[in-house]
């Protein structure tokens, strides 16, 4: 079971990083959005491997179901000119340098941390039901939950104001 999880982890993470790299380099925006959906779905798979079934569900519903659809609406609504699609050599260079240095930095931090704190024994995970997470959400985190609802309302009003014709 542990081996199977490990294989699934490598499959999901390779697919996710590969399609992430393709999503930021594709010239055509619809292709980029499709690769972005693949990143989202692989991330949901990783959440499942981490015993976070609720988050995997929310990830697919909210990201793949609404965020990417919103992106696709806007991509198809706006008439993209050719020059804004192009990936320049200078841009490639800047992106490559940023990627290499950030990966080196974060990798060093993580490996250093792993060296000083060797893997602790895995706490008893078992299956985390929807019930446990949602009970936490509606008891200890009730106020932040209501605040999130308020933020969503404010965002909705803001969007109506922004997209009004004047």
Q: How far is CA 140 from CA 52, 64, 108, 136, 146, in A?
A: 19, 28, 36, 6, 12
As measured in angstroms, the least distance from the Cβ of 1 to another protein is 13
Angle between the 130-139 and 142-162 helix axes, to the nearest 10 degrees? 80
By CB under 8 A, residue 31 contacts another protein:
no
| Binding status of residue 60 toward another protein by CB under 8 A | no
Which 73-102 positions form the footprint of another protein (CB under 8 A)? 74-75, 77-81, 83-85, 87-88, 91-92, 94-96, 98-99, 102
- Per CB under 8 A, the list member of 67, 116, 126, 127 interacting with another protein is 67
Task: Give the number of other Cβ atoms within 10 Å of residue 52's Cβ.
Answer: 16
Evaluate whether 9 touches 49 at the Cβ level (below 8 Å).
yes
Interaction mask 120-149, another protein, x per CB under 8 A = x-xx-x--x---xx--xx-xxx--xx--x-
CB of 22 to another protein, least distance (A): 10
User: Could you say whether residue 17 binds another protein (CB under 8 A)?
Assistant: yes
Q: What's the rounded Cα separation, in Å, for the pair 126 and 128?
A: 6
């Amino acid at each position: 079971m542990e081996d199977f999880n490990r294989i699934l982890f490598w499959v999901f993470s390779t697919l996710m990083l590969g399609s992430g790299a393709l999503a930021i380099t594709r010239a055509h925006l619809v292709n980029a959005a499709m690769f972005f959906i693949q990143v989202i779905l692989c991330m949901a798979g990783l959440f499942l491997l981490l015993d976070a079934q609720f988050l995997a569900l929310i990830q697919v519903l909210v990201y793949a179901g609404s965020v990417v659809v919103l992106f696709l609406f806007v991509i198809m609504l706006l008439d993209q000119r050719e020059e804004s699609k192009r990936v320049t050599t200078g841009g490639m260079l800047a992106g490559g340098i940023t990627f290499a240095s950030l990966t080196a930095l974060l990798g060093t931090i993580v490996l250093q941390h792993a060296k000083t704190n060797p893997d602790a024994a895995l706490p008893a995970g078992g299956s985390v039901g929807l019930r446990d997470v949602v009970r936490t959400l509606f008891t200890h985190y009730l106020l932040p939950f209501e605040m999130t609802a308020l933020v969503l309302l404010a965002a909705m009003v803001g969007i109506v104001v922004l997209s009004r014709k004047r």
